[in-house]
Amino acid sequence: MGSNNPKINDFGITFSTINGSGSATANNTIQKAIFRMGIPVSARNIFPSNIQGMPTWYSLRVSKDGYLGRLEKDDILVAMNPESVIRDIGNLNPGGVLLINKNIAITDIRKDIIVHSMPVDELLKSSDVSSNLNIYLANMVYVGVLSYLIGIELEKIESALDQHFNGKKKAIEPNLHVVKKSFEWTEANIRENSPYSLSPMHATIGKIMIDGNSAGALGALYGGLQFSAWYPITPATSLAEALNDFIPHLRVDPETGKTTCAVVQAEDELAAIGMVIGAGWAGLRSMTSTSGPGLCLMSEFLGLAYFTEVPIVVWDIQRVGPSTGMPTHTSQGDLSFSYFISHGDKDFVILLPGNMNECFDFGWQALDIAEKLQTPVIILSDLELGMNIWMADPLQYPDKEIDRGKVLWEDDLEKFAKKKQKEWSRYLDVDGDGIPYRTIPGNLNSKAPFFTRGTSHDPCAGYSESPEDWEENLIRIKKKFETAKLISPQPEMIDSGNELAIISYGSTDMPVKEAIVLLGNESIKTDYMRIRSLPFSCEVEKFVETHQRIIIIENNRDGQMKQLLCVNFPEHAAKFISLAHSNGLSLCAHWIVEKVLSEIVPEVK
Amino acid sequence: MADQLRKENTNTIGLKRNDYTGRPTTLCKGCGHTSIANMVVSACFEMNLPPEKIVKFSGIGCSSKSAAYFLERSFGFNGLHGRMPSVAEGALFADKSLVGIGISGDGDTANIGLSQFKHLVRRNVPMVYVVENNGVYGLTKGQFSATAEKGLTLKRQGENPYLPVDIALEAIAANASFVARSFAGDPKQVKELLKAAISHRGTSILDIISPCVTFNNQDYSVHSYSWVKGHDAPLHELEFVAPRDEITLDDFERGSIKEVTMHDGSVIAFKKLAREYDPTNRTEAIKMLEEAIRKNWLITGLIYVDPDSPNIYDMYPIGEKPLNRMPSEKIRPDRKSLELLNQSLM
């Protein structure tokens, strides 16, 4: 077949391998090499909840226009796993290319695709590399074959390997050797031109590549995090591990050689958040990271932190629930749970990062917001953002000084009494914003200590079951969330006065931005708002007021953001149209476009 | 004589015993917990601890309420049922010089909180952990806790069908570095053990039998005043001697004394009773507790201590200056570091 007009810098590749076979090195090398050719590239790891042996996929999208959303179908398939090969081939677009390990025997192959067989074993044998590495190096064969076929520059492969192995020649050389051997074999044996190819661009100059969990951990460390406790859970584990990796580099006091941030692996999520609350109460910037099941366990403690007014940050890297669900698959299903978490009346600040830079920024901003308001802040990321490596702008140094909020040390207590004309007590609202002043353990002024309790208390922190004390206290606490609306990240908006609008949040921003362009091509003009925090700010309210029909697009079954909008803006409820979907994968722009055109546009018109 | 008077009224940091008291108790009259609260007051007063340096922690239950009935001039955190240990562990990271005192009960520790209890012990977080143990849930009006003995009968619950959890054994199994048992009706022993526990640089577990006068003070119950009086088998008489005090033990004859020197230089002196007992021997401690269960004794005294066991701070490279007093510039890395980081990600 072959084409004289190859599709350049705009296609998708899926690598189908076996979990635990070491394909991550090969896959990440390809992603990095393409990135270093200046071409926008995104990649998703679709992996099973398993250590070794089950099928795993790595889907890479090359997009000259910079679209990062998932593609539904593949243009190129690298098939290394006999177990999934039939299904994988079925997912190729007509005219697509199949690179298949020669070992995999299949019959009745589709006639509308191009098939190249890769002699993996022979190439490894002739490469003369240590046989105990074969299982890992087998993946380097497809790196070489693919590099020749679509035009990945070998020097970029080499530099990516060099970075991956931290310059260790012993590791780089055998890998590179297999890549070169396979490249040469392809050159000699595959005559057809590939219908898909790469051409260097300049679109990634100055960009970085990072995963959301690392970006979040770094944000926290630049935000002055001092204590974190956590319990292992997919897909949040790598956030805490990134803290441990970066602390020795970023958070050692040069004067003492001691670290200024402690990380404890707790016995469970109950203990993790308990420790974090203890630390936050005692004046440490403190945070935990978890996923849905862990957040469920934390719900009682979150109510305590809300009511005792302890600043903490909780990262939820969402996966598919309820129950154990699909631990290695992405979702935006924890939104309404986070919003309403814990019993009784309460409010929570929720931040919704939509990209790597926001994972970093919200990472430090959340600590400021929590301490300023003396309340828990929940950051809802997801597996899509957290565990995949994305192209991003360089991380920006915080543009604000660290804000520790209303904390009184020994001398401050005396100054407070003079300035405010009254003695300090813990839950007294002297500024009218509902945010009281706090002292923290270690303060040796004899007026500083107070008894923190989860039971009802008066403004002086004394036990009280008086109806007035209870109600006044909770009404005061609610006031803090008016400030929350002002200091939390405001929505990102494209408002051109269209009647039809789209709302989304978090990782769903990626396919939505692409879908908006595609809809525009179909003459469907829409405005757009990406919500970046809860409670809803005035900006959100204004956007809702000024649009006639609003489609809320999200990755969960019930349309949870739509539900929250209805609860908060009941007078506008009739405007809202939910476009929600959850199957463990991130949304695709084409699915959004198809749904809007087939179901929503006819209804709106 | 004047010196003696001063000594009785104020301690070496110039505070009176009153400076260590708390809010008026709301517990039942005769509750063992109140007596324990009084001994915490006495121990801290006699050890000359600034109350502001002490941090109290508790969970939920009658015992946990009692944390408000001593040391009003100390910070305190009354958290969730069974979760006192985790809150304490996080808080104490903020300032290593703070003295943590946790007050819990048998339900709080041995039922809902068994996991956090054992993990705190395993990490050897420096703090005193008092279990006010009465075998019964008081605030919910008389249900069995996990330390209630098999066969105990309560009004609404009938007969307890389960075997009890032994808090001291659980602590030793979790590699505790300080385990003691006492009885609220023996305030002198409680006080001496509290002092030793405060000076220990790891988790100090004090399982104190503290009868519930309302729901579980039947003569045959192992958590009653009368039963304990008849079955108390003290391992030794003991006295705690602070580091700077000369060892002058009024009641003790020198020949019969065994001493254990604590990490801070203080000394716990034991007067041997009928049996020989070495509280630094873990195997012997476990044997003794097993024997006590078999013979229906209530062993009281210091059951086990390892004064030099590494604590959690030895496992983290954090400095002596309290973390919670770190200025902002010490906790935010500089601009240059982020530039380098960005370069490494290109």
Asked if A503 contacts A379 with a C-beta cutoff of 8 angstroms, the reply is no
* pLDDT band with cut points at 50, 70 and 90 for residue A2: very low
Count of domains forming chain A: 4
Cβ neighbours for A421, distance < 8 A, ≥ 6 positions apart: none
The distance of B65 to chain A (nearest Cα, Å) reads: 10
Over residues B257-285, mean pLDDT: 85
Whole-angstrom distance, CA of residue B206 vs CA of residue B181: 6
Whether B2 shows a pLDDT value over 70: the answer reads no
A347 and A259 in a single domain? The answer is yes
- Which of A229, A267, A283 is facing B115, going by the closest CB pair? A267
Question: For chain A, what's the residue count?
Answer: 605
Over residues B99-115, mean pLDDT: 97
A574 versus B264: the higher-pLDDT residue is A574
According to the model, what pLDDT value does residue A255 have? 94
Residue A55 is part of a domain; what is its CATH number? 3.40.920.10
A382 and A433 in a single domain? The answer is no
Q: Which of A190-194, A380-384, A410-414, A472-476 has the lowest mean pLDDT?
A: A190-194
Percent of chain A surpassing pLDDT 70: 99
Q: Which of A351-355, A586-590, B224-228 has the lowest mean pLDDT?
A: B224-228
According to the model, what pLDDT value does residue A232 have? 98
pLDDT tens-digit readout, B87-96: 999 999 999 9
The dihedral built from the CA positions of residue A25, A288, A316 and A529, taken in this order, carries a sign that is negative
Looking at A364, A392, A420, the residue that finishes a domain is A392
User: Is there a cis peptide before residue A535, judged by omega within 30 degrees of 0?
Assistant: yes
A232 and A334 in a single domain? The answer is yes
According to the model, what pLDDT value does residue B220 have? 87
Over residues A298-308, mean pLDDT: 98
pLDDT tens-digit readout, A56-111: 999 999 999 999 999 999 999 999 999 999 999 999 999 999 999 999 998 888 99
A361 and A220 in a single domain? The answer is yes
According to the model, what pLDDT value does residue B245 have? 64
Whole-angstrom distance, CA of residue B5 vs CA of residue B83: 43
Q: State the DSSP string of A153-180.
A: -HHHHHHHHHHHTTT-HHHHHHHHHHHH
A160 and A250 in a single domain? The answer is no
Which residues in chain A are contacts of B316 at CB distance < 8 A? 259, 262
Which residues in chain A are contacts of B318 at CB distance < 8 A? 258-260, 262
A317 and A378 in a single domain? The answer is yes
Whole-angstrom distance, CA of residue B74 vs CA of residue B89: 17
A361 and A449 in a single domain? The answer is no
What is the end-to-end Cα distance of chain A in Å, rounded? 44
Mean per-residue pLDDT of chain B: 91
Interface list for A 419-458 with B (CB within 8 A): 439-446, 448-455
Question: For chain B, what's the residue count?
Answer: 346
Whether A604 shows a pLDDT value over 90: the answer reads no
* pLDDT band with cut points at 50, 70 and 90 for residue B270: confident
User: Is there a cis peptide before residue B307, judged by omega within 30 degrees of 0?
Assistant: no
According to the model, what pLDDT value does residue A419 have? 95
The distance of A222 to chain B (nearest Cα, Å) reads: 5
According to the model, what pLDDT value does residue B1 have? 44
Whether A497 shows a pLDDT value over 70: the answer reads yes
Q: For an interface test with B, which of A452, A457, A460 has the most B Cβ atoms less than 10 Å from its Cβ?
A: A452
A558 domain residue, yes or no? yes
A162 domain residue, yes or no? yes
According to the model, what pLDDT value does residue B232 have? 87
A85 domain residue, yes or no? yes
A165 domain residue, yes or no? yes
Q: Does B124 touch chain A (CB under 8 A)?
A: no
Distances (CA, A) of B73 to A438, B37, B42, B68: 16, 14, 14, 10
pLDDT tens-digit readout, B242-253: 876 655 555 556
According to the model, what pLDDT value does residue B247 have? 54
Which residues in chain B are contacts of A304 at CB distance < 8 A? 79-80
Whether A209 shows a pLDDT value over 60: the answer reads yes
Looking at A197, A220, A244, the residue that finishes a domain is A197
| Closest to A142 in 3D by CA, of A53, A32, A43, A29 | A29
A379 and A425 in a single domain? The answer is no
Whether A136 shows a pLDDT value over 50: the answer reads yes
Whether A131 shows a pLDDT value over 90: the answer reads no
Mean per-residue pLDDT of chain A: 96
A330 and A446 in a single domain? The answer is no
A15 and A153 in a single domain? The answer is yes
A401 domain residue, yes or no? no
A325 domain residue, yes or no? yes
| Residue A536 CB neighbour total at 10 angstroms | 19
Looking up tokens 């033990």, which residue turns up? B249
Q: Which residue of A has its CA nearest to B75?
A: A449
Q: Where are the domains of chain B?
A: 2-319
CB contact under 8 A, A278 and B116: no
Looking at A447, A466, A487, the residue that finishes a domain is A487
Whether B3 shows a pLDDT value over 80: the answer reads no
| Residue B339 CB neighbour total at 10 angstroms | 13
Whether A1 shows a pLDDT value over 50: the answer reads no
Over residues B310-336, mean pLDDT: 96
According to the model, what pLDDT value does residue A589 have? 98
Interface list for B 184-243 with A (CB within 8 A): none
Three-state SS for A149? helix
A59 domain residue, yes or no? yes
Which residues in chain A are contacts of B98 at CB distance < 8 A? 441-442
Whether B287 shows a pLDDT value over 70: the answer reads yes
A334 and A422 in a single domain? The answer is no
Edge to edge, what strands does the sheet with A549-554 contain?
A492-494, A527-531, A500-505, A549-554, A576-580
Q: For chain B, where are the alpha helices, taking DSSP H only?
A: 2-9, 32-46, 62-65, 84-92, 106, 114-123, 167-173, 187-199, 225-231, 282-295, 328-331, 335-344
CB contact under 8 A, A440 and B94: yes
According to the model, what pLDDT value does residue A117 have? 96
Domain that holds residue A214: 210-392
According to the model, what pLDDT value does residue A381 have? 98
Q: Does A209 touch chain B (CB under 8 A)?
A: yes
Whether B255 shows a pLDDT value over 60: the answer reads no
Q: Does B2 touch chain A (CB under 8 A)?
A: no
CB contact under 8 A, A304 and B80: yes
Q: Which residue of A has its CA nearest to B60?
A: A454
A496 and A451 in a single domain? The answer is no
Domain B2-319 coded CATH 3.40.50.970: yes
Q: Does A244 touch chain B (CB under 8 A)?
A: no
Output the pTM of the full model. Answer: 0.96
pLDDT tens-digit readout, A151-172: 999 999 999 999 999 999 999 9
The distance of B155 to chain A (nearest Cα, Å) reads: 29
Q: State the DSSP string of B324-339.
A: GG--HHHHS--HHHHH
Whether B291 shows a pLDDT value over 80: the answer reads yes
Whether A130 shows a pLDDT value over 80: the answer reads no
Edge to edge, what strands does the sheet with B257-261 contain?
B236-241, B267-272, B257-261
